[in-house]
Amino acid sequence: MGAQPIQAVTRGQLRPLYEAAAGPSLKFLMDLIARPNTCKAWYWENGAEAVACAWFTHVGEEGELIDIRVAENKRRMGLAASLLNFTLGELASIGVTVCRLEVRQSNFAARGLYEGLGFETVGQRPNYYRVQEGREDAILMAANIKAMFNP
Ligand SMILES: CC(C)(COP(=O)(O)OP(=O)(O)OC[C@H]1O[C@@H](n2cnc3c(N)ncnc32)[C@H](O)[C@@H]1OP(=O)(O)O)[C@@H](O)C(=O)NCCC(=O)NCCS
């Protein structure tokens, strides 16, 4: 299993990861990678099946993780951590020094993942996301990936 860049032809393989998923739609993400100078995305595949993917935008030294997801039956196996390690290294190699992201306060799985990789909380947007009953905060996190990959 190896990480491969996401291209337009990959869309069909990624569709199962985005069925009934919260967060950005696959169409939104595919539209982003139509601009390869400012968007990079990779996926892991297992046979013909995509099991994880991660999408970033970047401008100059600033990168942003837009989405990461792992197939439900492949979670807690270290796939997201491995994919992020690989993709953040790729971003660092093209001159991105800081990666930022935004995550729902209640998304403890994702927050644990990011903290484990060295992301730190740098801000909070109160009542940012709509939830079934009311709203919840967005947590803003950032990591110095230059220091992580070129110590
Ligand atoms: C968040 C997500 C990508 C994690 O993927 P994963 O492959 O299961 O994560 P990993 O196995 O690499 O786990 C790495 C670390 O993340 C944390 N983590 C992952 N899932 C967790 C969970 N369900 N509960 C608590 N911590 C969790 C743990 O710290 C874990 O390390 P550990 O297994 O040594 O304890 C996955 O749950 C997912 O696709 N969720 C839906 C999409 C989503 O919320 N994406 C984030 C948008 S901001």
Ordered by start, the domain boundaries in the chain are 2-149
The answer to whether the beta carbons of residues 114 and 64 sit under 8 Å apart is no
Cβ atoms within 10 Å, residue 53 = 28
Ligand 1: residue whose CA is nearest its atom 44 = 110
Residues having CB closer than 6 A to ligand 1 are 23, 67-70, 75-81, 103, 107-110, 112-113, 116
**SS3 call for 83:** helix
What CATH code is assigned to 2-149? 3.40.630.30
Q: Print pLDDT tens along the chain (151 aa).
A: 578 898 877 888 899 999 977 889 999 999 999 998 999 999 999 888 899 999 999 999 999 999 999 999 999 999 999 999 999 999 999 999 999 999 999 999 999 999 999 999 999 999 999 998 899 999 999 999 999 997 6
Quick one: pLDDT at residue 8? 79
> In which element (H, E) is residue 47 found?
none
- Radius of gyration of the CA atoms of the chain, in A: 15
Pocket of ligand 1, candidates 26, 53, 75, 117: which has the most ligand atoms within 8 Å of its Cβ, to mutate? 75
**What are the residues whose beta carbons fall under 8 Å from the beta carbon of 126, sequence distance 6 or more?**
137
Q: How far is the CA of 78 from the centre of ligand 1 (A)?
A: 8
The answer to whether the beta carbons of residues 71 and 51 sit under 8 Å apart is yes
**SS3 call for 109:** helix
Ligand 1: residue whose CA is nearest its atom 23 = 109
Quick one: pLDDT at residue 94? 95
